């Protein structure tokens, strides 16, 4: 009964989002871009901010907070001023495409397009590929969820490292399913949600070119570019990207803090904000060191740099990112919710099969 109640709440949330985006598409889009359109969307921003509070389960609240409260609101913010994916070209004359583009972390692939990064220019060295397709990721995620039944036999730090893998797979599965849906319904070619982050050769490579590329793209246009333009007056074009990087990581940390609040319903401890601030500072230092050494052309071989990068990301995540979730039992709740959903779907399919007979 609890799962059915939560599904009813989710349906209400989806209907609220649908109504909001229909308003945006048919009314707000007719208002000239700029402050007037921004003010016309303020009620939508407020609604998107409180939507996750109507959900009682941690995982759906976190997904809605990421997709709608954060990414959706930032896309609408850009749209207010005629920028971003919602203002890019004739294809968004379709209401369905407008809704999908706002709600889902997707980005249309353009011919000849290359990934750009929040950090200053950085060329990724050639290294081996280990592509994982969507079915493989689903299988691996299922195995890792099953292994959580044996957490009492596992060292806590190993468990947190396992959560790092589960987080990567979960985000890629959700975004991969969104991409598959868009391809099936609209025939669009979409960018991959990530680019093998486990092969990152530096923090610049990890955050700018490989991990959660939709978030990277959104932060680039809403935070990094405006901050860089503002800082060029004081620091010049050479150094202006550095405070812009720090600002992007700070905003990312604060938005993750909000997502964690919706999942835990306890006041923030700011650990996750410090996680992103730390990575932003280290990325700036990394860039400065590379620039000082042969103008950025010198770099470690990937056999050395890749393990160093991944170890740093995982160790800092086990130190600052995951503890707020584990401390409040969100990890266990989210895993149980996954299992309950699977069982619920099995029961519904079984009942529907009997009903047809």
pLDDT tens, position by position, 141-167? 888 888 887 877 777 878 888 888 888
Alpha helices in 220-322 (DSSP H): 225-239, 241-264, 271-292, 302-316
Distances (CA, A) of 338 to 163, 236, 345: 14, 50, 11
What's the pTM?
A: 0.85
pLDDT over threshold 80, residue 189: no
User: Which range has the worst mean pLDDT, 70-79, 128-137, 216-225, 286-295?
Assistant: 128-137
Q: Which region among 8-22, 89-103, 254-268 has the lowest average model confidence (pLDDT)?
A: 89-103
Asked whether the beta carbons of 43 and 76 are under 8 A apart, the reply is no
- Across the strands, what pairs with 190? 108
The predicted structure's pLDDT at residue 72: 95
pLDDT digits (tens, 9 = 90+) for 213-252: 889 989 999 999 999 999 988 888 888 889 999 999 999 9
| Residue 59: CB atoms within 10 Å | 18
Q: At a CB cut-off of 8 Å and minimum separation 6, what does 66 contact?
A: 105, 259
| Contact assessment for residue 96 and residue 68, using Cβ atoms and an 8 Å cutoff | no
Distance of CA 293 to the CA centre of its chain: 33
Domain boundaries, the chain: 3-108, 191-340
Return the minimum-mean-pLDDT range out of 18-22, 47-51, 224-228, 239-243.
239-243
More confident residue, 19 or 198: 19
112 has pLDDT over 90: no
Decide if pLDDT at 78 tops 50: yes
Q: How many whole angstroms separate alpha carbon 225 and alpha carbon 238?
A: 14
For residue 205, what are the contacts with CB-CB under 8 A and spacing of at least 6? 122, 124, 309
Q: Name which of 105, 99, 96 is nearest 17 in CA terms.
A: 99
Query: 171 pLDDT exceeds 50?
Result: yes
Residue 114 pLDDT class (50, 70, 90 cuts): very low
255 pLDDT above the threshold of 90? yes
């Amino acid at each position: 009964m609890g799962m059915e109640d939560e599904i009813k709440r989710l349906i209400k949330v989806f209907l609220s989002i649908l109504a909001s985006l229909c308003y945006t598409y048919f009314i707000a889009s007719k208002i000239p871009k700029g402050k007037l359109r921004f003010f016309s969307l303020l009620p939508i921003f407020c609604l998107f901010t409180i939507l996750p509070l109507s959900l009682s389960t941690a995982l759906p609240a976190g997904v809605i907070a990421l997709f709608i409260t954060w990414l959706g609101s930032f896309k609408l913010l850009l749209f207010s001023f005629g920028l971003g994916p919602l203002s890019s070209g004739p294809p968004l004359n379709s209401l369905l495409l407008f809704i999908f583009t706002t709600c889902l972390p997707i980005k249309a692939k353009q011919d000849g397009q290359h990934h750009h990064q929040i950090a200053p220019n950085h060329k990724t060295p050639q290294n081996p590929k280990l592509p994982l397709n969507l079915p493989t990721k689903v299988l691996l995620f299922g195995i890792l969820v099953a292994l959580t039944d044996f957490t009492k036999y596992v060292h806590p730090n190993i468990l947190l490292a396992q959560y790092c893998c589960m987080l990567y797979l979960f985000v890629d599965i959700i975004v991969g399913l969104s991409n598959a849906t868009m391809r099936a319904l609209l025939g669009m070619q979409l960018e991959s949600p990530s680019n093998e982050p486990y092969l990152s050769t530096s923090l610049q490579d990890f955050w700018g070119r490989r991990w959660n590329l939709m978030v990277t793209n959104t932060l680039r246009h809403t935070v990094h570019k405006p901050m860089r333009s503002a800082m060029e007056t004081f620091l010049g074009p050479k150094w202006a990207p550095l405070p812009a990087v720090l600002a992007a990581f700070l905003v990312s940390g604060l938005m993750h803090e909000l997502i964690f609040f919706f999942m835990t319903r306890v006041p923030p401890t700011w650990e996750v904000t410090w996680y992103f601030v730390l990575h932003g500072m280290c990325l700036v230092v990394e860039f400065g060191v590379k620039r000082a050494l042969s103008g950025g052309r010198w770099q470690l071989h990937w056999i050395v740099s890749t393990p160093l990068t991944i170890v740093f990301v995982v160790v800092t995540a086990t130190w600052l990112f995951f503890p707020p979730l584990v401390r409040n039992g969100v990890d266990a709740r989210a895993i149980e919710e996954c299992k309950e959903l699977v069982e619920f779907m099995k029961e519904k399919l079984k009942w529907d099969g009997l009903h047809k007979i």
